[in-house]
Amino acid sequence: KKVTVELKASDYIPYTWKKDVALKDNVSLVRYFYPVSPKPIKVGIYKFASNLYADNEVKEIINRVLASLSENLFDNKAFKEVPTNILIDEVKRNKLGLDKMTTKGWANTTLKKTLDMIIAGSVGRDDKGYTIETKVYTSNGKLLLGVIKQAKGLRDIDSASKDIAGEIAERFPFEGTVVAVEEEGIKINLGKAGGYRLSKGMEFDIKGAKIDSEGKAVGFKDIGVVEIKKIDAASSFAVPVKVKDKAAIGDKVVRKLYEYTAEAGEKIYFTAAVKGGKGSNVQNLGGVNIYLENLWMGSTEKDGKLDIPIKLGRRYSFIVYKHGYQQIKEKLSFDKNKEIKEFVMTPNTALFKAESSPSGAEVSIDGEPLGKTPFADGKPVELGFHTVKATAGQDYRDWEEVVEFDKEVVDKAGQNKIILYKDYLKIGNEEYKNGAIDKAITSFASTEKGHPDYSVARHRLAQLYLDDKNDYENAIKEFENVLSLPENQQLIYKRFAITFTNLGHAYYLKANDLIKTNKDEAGRYFQKAIDNLQTAKQNTRFFPNDNYDEGLHDTIYYLALSYHKLYLITKKDTYLRNANWAWRDYFDFFPKALDGKADYEKAKDGARIYWSQIKDKL
């Protein structure tokens, strides 16, 4: 028998969908729908660094920039704030640093779900006041745009930050969707109310969506360019400028980045050639931002060069800026096409002194070797945030930290020296692989509070007690040790949400052992199991991806079992009702990915028996 299945979703694309389906055995339908309303851009303001030795005034300037820029940028509905504390935690968890994020990006990490772009900045100073440079990076590590503003002092920061936020919004390549196709043009889902800073005549690239059989967009192809003619509150109307195919509902539009062009006809430009260094140690400098009349022209390539369009004979103001170097401000004019203008930037450096325990550790800055500890006389390092890494080899774990070089001497010696810890986590895992469980337990137990791997190693230790030793007391003790740290208890580090499941499981097994000898004590442990499993159930979204289904199963399974057995001990109606609902949840939310797996099918069979025991009592 055939039936017609129709789905309607007024706030999604497509608005309606039909399919004829033959009813035979189990029929599964999958159809992708996409929201009509555009999603806000998830933005994290990472850090602003001082491009000079930071005194109290400079630090106050930076703090004011961060606060004011955040207030102004996120007042715009087009952008959604990723709080800085969450951003920094996620950056650490993904073992990223500013240098990696602004070169390789984070598109291939779990941070991609949380963050679309980051903002980083620099504050410099000259005889006219402060220079604030703001850079916007996408998830592939690409510098999308730069914005530079001047401020005489603290009182001008709010105004400068407002201008920075406004320029980001005006120049950002916002994406929208075609929501209607008419004879003369298309309607897109970007309007006045969204904060997109639209204006008539603005151009968008249009990209045709490639849709698979389930309605999923699997790619896009360039169709051409459209121009905005009318702007309403929630949408705009655009007409074709140069298109090669007809647009369709669901196609994507992307606002074209503003490009400075001096004049039509032959391309007239000069080449900026930037070098950096002191004395004889001068070399080509990439990643230098060049601003013409305060408008970002782009960044130099590795060879230190950038072509910039100009009008011959006209005088321009230039700012040449790269964090870690003294900025250059010049006024220039050019008499002929394709001139080359060389700029030499002087580095701003701090003296880095370091010792380590153990001594002789290899130190690198942003991946570049610096030498072995100690270096008591110091090594010059450019100002700014840098990822410092120390490696001692053998059984020691690497030390890695983002350090701000913002003073004349940055001292990691004496009481501040770099401490490298024994890698008990690695040692314990290797011993476990070799079947030496007792040695693995000893290694994991060697981590003390303050050790960087304390939480992970103690969690691993608890799992060994639970799964390999059936030592529920010590398993409970170690899981509680992990959750005794406020950052884990409060789920600042989300990956420890699964610890509540494991602790609840351990309490359940301990209670089960006590049923025959001490029912009151067993009841107390079952209640503790329930408390922890309920916490876990409320936070399953934070479970690790690689064993999410198993974690979800254990959470709802042991929660139902704990309610069930607490009812059998107490005979209280409250626990009977809770057990019934818990078993219902178990079958409703049993992970499909675990269907057919022997251990979980066995658990499901047992659950049916348990549930049947109490159904008739309701």
Q: What is the mean pLDDT of residues 190-203?
A: 90
* CATH numeric code, 269-338: 2.60.40.1120
Q: Give the pLDDT of residue 14.
A: 85
The type of residue at 429 is N
Mean pLDDT, rounded, of the chain? 91
Distance CA 43, CA 178 (A): 24
Residues spanned by CATH 2.40.10.410 within the chain? Answer: 174-256
For the chain, state the CA radius of gyration.
31
Give DSSP secondary structure letters for 534-566: HHHHTTGGGS-GGGHHHHHHHHHHHHHHHHHHH
Please say if the pLDDT value at position 616 is more than 60: yes
**84 or 509, which is more confident?**
509
pLDDT at residue 352 is higher than 90: yes
pLDDT reported for residue 265:
58
The pLDDT of residue 236 is 95
Distance CA 76, CA 94 (A): 29
Range list for CATH 2.60.40.1120 in the chain: 269-338
Q: How far is CA 521 from the centre of its chain?
A: 45
pLDDT confidence of residue 264: 55
Contact yes or no for 236/253 (Cβ under 8 A): no
CA dihedral 606, 610, 615, 617 (to 10 degrees): 160
- Three-state SS for 65? helix
Task: Answer whether 560's CB lies under 8 Å from 583's CB.
Answer: yes
Reply yes or no on whether the pLDDT at 207 is more than 70.
yes
- Cα 485 from Cα 329, distance rounded (Å): 51
* CA gap 279, 326 in Å, rounded: 15
Query: Regarding the domain delimited by 424-615, which CATH topology (the fold level of the hierarchy) does it fall under?
Result: 1.25.40
For residue 539 the two structure tokens come to 């936070």
Task: Give pLDDT, residue 389.
Answer: 94
What's the rounded Cα separation, in Å, for the pair 72 and 164? Answer: 9
Burial of residue 257 (CB within 10 Å: 0-12, 13-18, 19+) is exposed
Q: What is the pLDDT of residue 323?
A: 92
Bridge partner residues of 126 (DSSP): 129
State the pLDDT at residue 259. Answer: 60
Distance of alpha carbon 551 from alpha carbon 543, whole angstroms: 7
CATH topology of domain 174-256: Thrombin, subunit H (2.40.10)
> Which ranges constitute the DSSP H helices of 335-423?
none
pLDDT above 80: residue 27: no
Place of tokens 């693995």: 440
Give yes or no for a contact between 285 and 204, defined as CB atoms under 8 angstroms apart.
no
Percent of the chain with pLDDT over 90: 68
Calpha distance 299→305 (Å, rounded)? 8
Tokens standing for 468?
A: 């390999």
**What is the C-alpha to C-alpha distance for residues 177 and 512, in angstroms, rounded to an integer?**
57
- Could you tell me the fold of the domain covering 349-419? Immunoglobulin-like (2.60.40)
Q: Residues near 482 by Cβ (< 8 Å), separated by ≥ 6?
A: 455, 458, 459, 462, 488, 496, 499
For 238, the 3-state DSSP assignment is strand
| Predicted confidence (pLDDT) at residue 65 exceeds the cutoff of 80 | yes
Q: Give the number of other Cβ atoms within 10 Å of residue 394's Cβ.
A: 8
How far apart (Å, rounded) are the C-alpha atoms in residues 130 and 369? 33
Which string of DSSP letters, residue by residue, matches 441-483? HHHHHT--TTSTTHHHHHHHHHHHHHHTS--HHHHHHHHHHHH
> What residue type is 104 in one-letter code?
K
| Spatial separation of the C-alpha atoms in residues 301 and 304, rounded to whole Å | 5
Q: What is the pLDDT of residue 23?
A: 78
What phi, psi does 189 have (nearest 5°)?
A: -90, 30
Question: What pLDDT, on the 0 to 100 scale, is given for residue 165?
Answer: 94
Question: In the predicted model, what is the mean pLDDT of residues 309-317?
Answer: 92
Is residue 562 within 8 Å of 537, Cβ to Cβ? no
pLDDT per residue as tens digits for the range 374-416: 998 899 999 988 999 999 988 999 999 889 998 999 999 999 9
Q: Quick one: average pLDDT of 154-178?
A: 92
| Residue 330: predicted pLDDT | 94
pLDDT of residue 239: 94
**Which backbone phi and psi does 428 adopt, to 5 degrees?**
-65, -40
DSSP state of 396: B
* Fold adopted by 41-171: Rossmann fold (3.40.50)
**Which comes out higher in pLDDT, residue 433 or 257?**
433
Amino acid in the structure at residue 575: Y
The three-class DSSP label of residue 413 is coil
Structure-token match 């490298």, residue found: 420
Q: Which residues contact 154 (CB under 8 A, 6 or more apart)?
A: 57, 60, 61, 64
Mean pLDDT of 296-305: 94
Q: What pLDDT digit, counting tens, does each position of 562-579 carry?
A: 999 999 999 999 999 999
Crossing angle of helices 454-467 and 497-514, rounded to 10°: 30
Instruction: Count the neighbouring beta carbons within 10 Å of the beta carbon of residue 248.
Output: 13
Nearest-CA neighbor of 296 among 284, 314, 313, 308? 308
The per-residue pLDDT for 318 is 95
Give the confidence band of 509 by pLDDT, cuts at 50, 70, 90: very high
Average pLDDT rounded to a whole number, residues 345-363: 94
Which pLDDT value is given to residue 95?
82
DSSP string for residues in 470-518: --HHHHHHHHHHHHTSHHHHTTSSGGGHHHHHHHHHHHHHHHHHHTTT-
| CATH 1.25.40.10 domain position(s) in the chain | 424-615
Mean pLDDT, residues 69-89 taken together: 91
Reduce the DSSP state of residue 302 to 3 states and report it.
coil
Q: Is residue 498 a contact partner of residue 544, using CB atoms and an 8 Å limit? A: yes
Residues 6+ apart with CB under 8 A from 23: 1, 2, 3
